[in-house]
Every structure is written in C-alpha cells, then in structure tokens.
Amino acid sequence: MSNELTINTLEANTVLENKQFVFLYGAAYFSIQLTSVIEVYDSPDVKDLPWEEIGLRGMIQYRGIPIPVIDPIAIANIKSDKKNRSIKAVVIFEKDNCKIALAVDKFYNIIPEPEKDSEDFQEDSLESFIIGFSMLADKPLVILNEEKITKHYKKIFTKQVSLKSNQKEETFISTKLQVLEKFIFFTIGEVNFGVPIKEVLEVLENLDVTPLFKVVPVLRGLINLRGKVIPCMDISTYLGLSARSLNENTKFVILQSGGAEIALCVDSVSKMKEVDNALIQSNEGVLTGPISEYATGILQLQKQTLLMISAKNLVESSDLRGYFSSEVQ
C-alpha cells in the first residue's frame, strides 16, 4: 500500500508541477504554486491577534489547527484605497509542514507557469514575498513566494504564540500524515461536481468553440488550445438541463487522461478542497442514464451533495468514442 501511495503521489505532483493557482483579492490578481494549495475555505471566522505585523490579519481555526491569515495586498506592497477589507474566503497552502491562509475574494483560474519579470529582491524587504510579475490576459499578475511567506510568518507566529500548559497542542506546523486527495469543485446549473485536481490541466474562460454537426449533443465542438485541437463537452442535457450558453463568462475545465485532453464547459468553478476518498460513496443504483457513465461516486459534504467524475470516464465514454486514437487511451 505504501508503495502504491508513493507512486500515486509522484504521479499527481508530476501533473501539478509548474501550474499556478490564480486568485483575486481586491483589484489585484495573485498566484501561488498549485502543488502547495490545500483548500479554498469560505466564510472564515477570522480572530484578531493582540500584536501587529505587516500583512497579518488574524487567525482562523482549520480542522482544529490555528493558522495565520495574511493579506496578499499588504505583503505585495500594492496600493489600495480600502484598508482591512473584509475577508470572504481564504486559500490555505502548506509549505515545509506549515499551513498559511491568504485572503481571497474568489478563485480565478489554474494556469501553466507564466513567464515572469523578476528582480533580485532584498531578503528582508517586503518584495521578498514576491517571485515576480506577469500578465494574465490583459491583467497584471503578482506571483507570490510561498516559501518566504511561510518562513517569515512561521517565525513570527511561533515566537508570539506560547502554550500556557504543558499539554501538547497542534499548531499551524502540521505533524500529521493524512491520506487525502485534492479536488476542484464546479457547478453546472444547480448541480455540484468534483474532479481530482491531478486530472486538471487548466481552468480557462472566454474560449472560442467551433461547432460540429451531426454529432451527439454532448459534444459542443472543438477548441484550439495553443495549437492543439481538443473536444469540448457539455453534459447539461444529461442533468435534465438546457445546453449551456457559451459566452465570455463560460468556464472551461481542461482535463487530461492518458495523454488525451478534453474541455468541459461549466457555469462556475467554486473551490478546491482536500477530501478523504473514504467519504465518497458508490453511485450504483443512485444515478441512472448517461451521467452514471461519467460519475465515480457521490460525496456528501455538510449540506452539499456532489457528483464526483473523472477525466478517464469522460475520455473513454461512448460519446467521445472515435475522437481519440487508441494510442492515447
């Protein structure tokens, strides 16, 4: 089992390496390495701390662990007309067994490693929290340095937080080994879905879809993605919904399985989360029709029910039979 787990972890890291998780906070776009992201955590209860430190907004409890909450605008030294803006959500990342939360307004995209303009930043300056800058379409993108952020706030946080008893308590420096898998959640209509992050290449929007004729309705057309033509799927009709309207707001989750790539058009991409696979229940006898061919199970998460799907099931489905050669199956 341990060997299998190690192989799966290596495969996942190979897929995720050189990918960036992009999020919006205020009027600025930021990115961090996708491999370090654990979860996008909504409506956090941020508690004030009795000391001041640049960018430190407070602390949250995450799975029983106190984690510092950092303002990316402050540590990137970006001008803002609104100080201490409200925190709607946080993205929690882990580096060197330490968890840090960054304030987020919304998840934006997953993109390949961007080309960046960088300088030799001074180690002790605010700019040490920044690797460099890039452009995302026509928007400036600040690429954050998770390693230096973690190093700085680990030192500050552990220095200020002291235990009042000899009882051992877990801090944001994690020592637990948990077998969890990362998923991206997205919505189509009122239906929520989850797909393993290791199968996600990118999340994009505003793509041109060239329609095809005399094909199954689920196949909306073809997308030219940097010179590679890939099929675009819309599984709305299998949910009893009308076909999605493809416009500048449509999100496309680019998935990969066995060398084959597909684009799944969705309404929104809501969050990332680590999930214990043991919580995913079988969909046998629950789902019927074509949608059951794509689903791998059902996840009940608090009051939310999610259909878990996989790129492999989509690629090997009868709907796409003939669009991929046997060499990539």
In this chain, the answer to whether the domains covering 2-160 and 181-328 adopt an identical fold is yes
Fold of 181-328: OB fold (Dihydrolipoamide Acetyltransferase, E2P) (2.40.50)
Q: List the domain boundaries for the chain.
A: 2-160, 181-328
Farthest-apart Cα atoms in the chain, separation: 72
User: Could you read off the pLDDT tens digit of each residue along the chain, which spans 329 residues?
Assistant: 333 333 343 344 444 567 899 999 988 999 999 999 999 988 899 999 888 888 999 999 988 888 999 999 999 988 776 666 789 999 999 998 899 999 999 888 898 877 665 554 444 455 589 988 888 877 889 999 999 999 999 887 776 554 433 344 445 555 444 568 899 999 999 899 999 999 999 998 888 999 988 888 889 999 998 889 999 999 988 888 888 888 888 899 999 988 889 999 999 997 888 888 888 888 777 777 778 888 888 998 878 889 999 898 888 888 887 676 544 44
Q: Under CATH, which number does the domain 2-160 receive?
A: 2.40.50.180
Please answer whether residues 183 and 197 qualify as being in contact, where contact means their C-beta atoms are separated by less than 8 angstroms: yes
What is the model's pLDDT at position 299? 92
